[in-house]
Amino acid sequence: MDRRLLVLAIGMFALGTDSFVVAGVLPEIARHFDVSIGAAGQMTTIYSVTFALLSPTIAGLAAGVSRKTMLIAGAAVFVLANLATAISPTFTIALLTRALAGAGAAMFSPTATGSAAMLVPPERRGYALSIVVAGLTLSTALGSPAGAVIGGLGDWRYTMLFVAALGTAAGLGVWAFLTEVPLPPAVSLSKRLAPLADSRVLLTLATTLVNLSGIFTVYTYFAVAFDRAIGNDALVLGTLLVLWGAGGTVANLAFGRLIDRIGSRMVILSTLAVLVIVSASMPWSSASLWTAIPVVAIWGAAGWGLLVPQQYRLVALAPSIAPVLLGLNTAASFFGMSAAGLIGAAAIPLVGAHYLGFVGAGLAVLAFILAELATLRIAAAETARIAACSVPA
């Protein structure tokens, strides 16, 4: 494997781990800072919000900066921020360091995916992107559970040190193995946001945002939503998180071929239907380890499995600006994760952590409706295009 792609994938692995790992050590963080579980969950929220807001902004403003410089600077900010989180004396400072970590991630992530496409010939760009993005996917199956186990067996601050070590490895790898990458054509921030005027794109992105909100409303508070099955055992918690991430990884790999057979619409609707059923079962299935195991695996597969058909749908809408659309989809994903922290924090006092699955199921129903509205707009635009082409000149 190309070492340059590998170090970029390690960086994405670190970013993804930092996105999801806080969920596994949330009770420890809440106790350490003497705050509620809902308040502690905002450490995930502020990271995701900063990541989502700054990714397109930095990509537009720093288009002329050396790619290698951007990657190393992003990794450095990310590492320093996570070290600062580990030694934060107060919860407020911890939140500020999480925002700084999000800024570092926003510098690294779009630069890494863009660089991957520029490092290889055009005919191998799909492969290069899949390697780099695989780092993000694998973080849910390996990085986040590993960090949760480390925190559970020792101290939650060791988890942040683990994430910082991953970021350091990525930064050193970029410095050692990555040559200067050709700068891509400059795309202004206004041009990056222009596709939002297309209702087909907007509805598709809204589906991604609402779907991720529903999934992460439960996942952000996983340790308390599934506490009856976990039984205060860090290894059990880590195992369940591995199942969740492994289900998503398998689904991502399998759904590409399935889309070619039955189309993206059927995959999207079927996946969301499964997500509604699984989420609605959680108040009961989370009560026992043996019922939690299959539910967590299916939940992970359905939740993450939606990303591939969503990306497929966006690329099919406008292949010429596919990188811009996929960047917006990433931003929508992180906005959804950000909203989830707030939704969960508001819902726990009202319904209790064990019933967050009902909230997730409701959001999955809304995502289903948005996906079908996007389908109708796509079909209407295609009909209008065919009609226009058939009109004699």
Q: Give the whole-number percent of the chain exceeding pLDDT 70.
A: 88
Name the residue with higher pLDDT: 283 or 22.
283
Name the residue with higher pLDDT: 196 or 97.
97
pLDDT at residue 23 greater than cutoff 80: no
pLDDT at residue 311 greater than cutoff 80: no
Name the residue with higher pLDDT: 180 or 8.
8
Most confident of 69-73, 142-146, 253-257: 69-73
What is the per-residue pLDDT across 227-242, written as a single tens digit (0 to 9) for each? 999 998 878 988 898 8
In this prediction, residue 130 has a pLDDT band, given cuts at 50, 70 and 90, of low
pLDDT at residue 38 greater than cutoff 80: yes
How confident is the model over 337-345, as a mean pLDDT? 86
pLDDT at residue 193 greater than cutoff 80: no
pLDDT for residue 111: 81
**167: exposed, middle or buried (C-beta count within 10 Å: 0-12, 13-18, 19+)?**
buried
pLDDT at residue 126 greater than cutoff 60: no
Q: What is the 3-state composition of the chain as percent helix, strand, coil, each rounded to the nearest 5?
A: 90, 0, 10
Yes or no: say if 129 and 8 are a contact pair by the CB < 8 Å rule: no
What is the per-residue pLDDT across 355-382, written as a single tens digit (0 to 9) for each? 999 999 999 999 999 999 999 998 888 7
| Alpha-carbon dihedral 338, 339, 344, 347, rounded to 10 degrees | 160
Please tell me the number of Cα atoms within 13 Å of 381 on its side-chain side. 13
pLDDT for residue 179: 78
Most confident of 90-99, 110-119, 173-182: 90-99
DSSP secondary structure letter of residue 141: I
pLDDT for residue 346: 92
pLDDT at residue 390 greater than cutoff 70: no
Chain mean pLDDT for the chain: 84
Give the type of residue at 86: A
Q: How far apart are CA 222 and CA 145, in angstroms?
A: 12
pLDDT at residue 209 greater than cutoff 80: yes
pLDDT for residue 322: 62
Q: How far apart are CA 328 and CA 367, in angstroms?
A: 17
pLDDT at residue 353 greater than cutoff 70: yes
pTM given for the model: 0.75
What is the full DSSP assignment across 201-243? HHHHHHHHHHHHHHHHHHHTTHHHHTHHHHTT-HHHHHHHHHH
Yes or no: say if 70 and 352 are a contact pair by the CB < 8 Å rule: no
pLDDT for residue 169: 93
Give the type of residue at 124: R
In this prediction, residue 204 has a pLDDT band, given cuts at 50, 70 and 90, of very high
In this prediction, residue 91 has a pLDDT band, given cuts at 50, 70 and 90, of very high
pLDDT for residue 233: 86
pLDDT for residue 392: 62
